Amino acid sequence: MTERTLAIIKPDAVRKNVSGEIIAMITQAGFKILGFKMIRISEAQAGEFYAVHKERPFYGELVSFMSSGAIVPIALEKENAIADYRALIGATDPAEAAEGTIRKAFASSKGENAVHGSDSAENGRNEIAFFFSESELVANQA
């Protein structure tokens, strides 16, 4: 089934100047890019995006990190996009990420782990809508 997922290149990876390498890994894995942009979000916006983690001990750190610099949200489409993109990025903690994954290559720590990926098709749709209007996504649709 064709699915959509939201990738985000996080501030640590943008600062390391590896956004291009990460986008290349994503497209080489067969994902179609429906939209991408480079933006900086406020702490309030980061808090809203990660509201599901509000009770977790790392929430404050996560919100402050995600608003600490530019990020690159990318709307992706592919058969089986959710599972395939999660496999491409690897485990949350880079120490546990498999060889060949984006986090193995570029993540620094469990918090500063280079990329985000949606964890379900429903969250994929909602997270894409958080960053993109429909009119920003139509350009690359067949």
**12 or 77: CB nearest ligand GDP:** 12
Single out the residue of 38, 40, 44, 61 in contact with ligand GDP (rule: CB under 6 A): 61
Where on the phi/psi map is residue 17: left (φ > 0), alpha (ψ -120 to 50), or beta? left
Report the distance separating Cα 6 and Cα 54, nearest Å: 20
Interacting span for ligand GDP (CB under 6 A) from 24-32, 35-43, 58-66, 68-76: 58-66
**Residue 4 found at the interface with ligand GDP (CB under 6 A):** no
Single out the residue of 32, 78, 104, 110 in contact with ligand GDP (rule: CB under 6 A): 110
**84 or 136: CB nearest ligand GDP:** 84
Closest CA to 23 of 9, 37, 11, 34: 9
**37 or 56: CB nearest ligand GDP:** 56
3-state secondary structure of 48: helix
**58 or 130: CB nearest ligand GDP:** 58
Cβ-contact 111, 10 below 8 angstroms: no
47's tokens? 């808090």
Give the residues across from 108 on adjacent strands.
none
**53 is a catalytic site residue:** no
Q: How far is the CB of 116 from ligand GDP (least distance, A)?
A: 6
E strand or H helix that includes residue 121 = helix 121-131
E strand or H helix that includes residue 72 = strand 72-79
**Residue 62 found at the interface with ligand GDP (CB under 6 A):** yes
Residues that bind ligand GDP (CB under 6 A): 58, 61-62, 92, 110-111, 113, 116, 119
